Structure 1
Amino acid sequence: MEWQDCTAKMEIDVPASVAYKCYSDREAIPNWMPFISSVQVLEDKPDLSRWSLKYNAFGRDLEYSWLARNMQPIPNQKIHWRSLEGLHGRGAVRFYPKGPSSCLIELTVSYEVPQLLAPVASALQPFLENLLKSGLDRFAKYAKSSGSTR
C-alpha cells in the first residue's frame, strides 16, 4: 500500500484557544467536513472514536470507516490522531496564534491509499487538499459563530 499526505492551511479570525476548543469536539467535525458523515466518541474510552466517511467522487460512492485514537494533545497548539483499525490513517491539526484574535490552522491528513484508488492516487491529492481547504473554510465560520457564543 501507498501512503499519501494532504495538507491545508488557513488563517481564521478567532483566537487559537477558541479554534482549538471547537476542533476538540470530535463529534462536531461533520458540521464542517462534508465527507465525514459521523464521528462517535466511545463512552468508556473517550480517547477513541469511530469515524465514517461517505463521499461521491468520480461517479462512485466511497464509504470507509475507522477507529481512531486521539494522541496526547498540546492544549491550544496541536490535536493529533491515528487510526487503529479500518482505513489506515493519521493526522494533525495545528494552531498558530497570529495575534489576540486570529490564528493559522494547519490540517494534515495522511492515509494509506485504498487499492481501488492506487492508480489515481497522485491525481487525487489536489482534489483531497481542496476538500480539506473547503472544510477549513466551513470550520472558520463554525468557530467564529461558536466563539461569539462562548
Structure 2
Amino acid sequence: MGRWLEHTVTTKVNASVDRVWKVWSNLEAMPRWMRWIESVNLIDDDPNLTNWTLAAQGFRFNWKARIIQRVEAQQLHWESIGGLPTKGTVRFYAESDNITSVKLTVSYQLPGALAPLMEDRILGGIVVKELQSNLNRFRDLVQTD
C-alpha cells in the first residue's frame, strides 16, 4: 500500500458559474488545459465513467474514474475504480454574475514501489504547482473562448 496525498488549489474566473461549469463538464477536453493528462475518454457514452491517462516526469498511469456526485454548476466528486487510486472534488462558487471561484482538491495514492522514493513535501510542491498551473490555464481558456 502506498501513501495518500491531498492537494487543494483555487482560482477566480471572470465568467458566470454556468459558463465555468459547462467548460469543466466537458471531461474529454481536459487535456487542453491539464498538462499531465494525456487523454480522458468516456466509457460507453456514460458521462459518469471515464478512462484517464496521465503522463508526467517519465511515468505513465492509467485509471478509470466514476463521478460519484454531480450538483449542476456547484460541485463534482469523483473517485477511481481501477488503476491509479485517485479521488477529488471541484467546487464552483458564484461570487457575482460574472465571477466564479473554483476550488479543486485532488487526492491520490502513491504506488507502493514509489512511495519510499518520494519526499511528500517535494512531490507535493511539484503537484500543487502543476495543479495551480492547470487551474490557471482552465481560467484563461474559459475567459478567452
TM-score (norm 1): 0.90
1:92 aligned residue: 89
CA distance in 1, matches of 2:50, 2:106: 16
**Residue type matched to 2:34 in 1?**
M
Q: What SS does the aligned partner of 2:51 have?
A: strand
Please tell me whether the aligned partners of residues 113 and 121 of structure 1 are also in contact (alpha carbons under 8 angstroms): no
- Indicate which of 72, 76, 98 corresponds to 1:75: 72
Per-residue CA distance 1:3-26 (angstroms, 9 max, x = gap): 100111111111111111110110
Q: Does 1:104 align with 2:101?
A: yes
How far off is 1:145 after superposition?
2.5
CA distance in 2, matches of 1:7, 1:22: 20
CA distance in 1, matches of 2:141, 2:61: 25
**Residue type matched to 1:143 in 2?**
V
Per-residue CA distance 1:39-62 (angstroms, 9 max, x = gap): 000124331100000012xxxx01
How far off is 1:115 after superposition?
2.3
| Structure 1: 4+ residue segments shifted above 3 A | none
How far off is 1:102 after superposition?
0.7
CA distance in 1, matches of 2:16, 2:4: 33
Larger strand fraction of residues? 2
Per-residue CA distance 1:60-84 (angstroms, 9 max, x = gap): x010000000123111110111000
- Indicate which of 114, 117, 137 corresponds to 1:117: 114
Please tell me whether the aligned partners of residues 82 and 89 of structure 1 are also in contact (alpha carbons under 8 angstroms): yes
Per-residue CA distance 1:83-140 (angstroms, 9 max, x = gap): 0000001011100111110111000100111124313241211110110000011001
1:27 aligned residue: 28
TM-score (norm 2): 0.93
Number of matched pairs? 142
Structure 1: tracts of 5 or more residues without a match: none
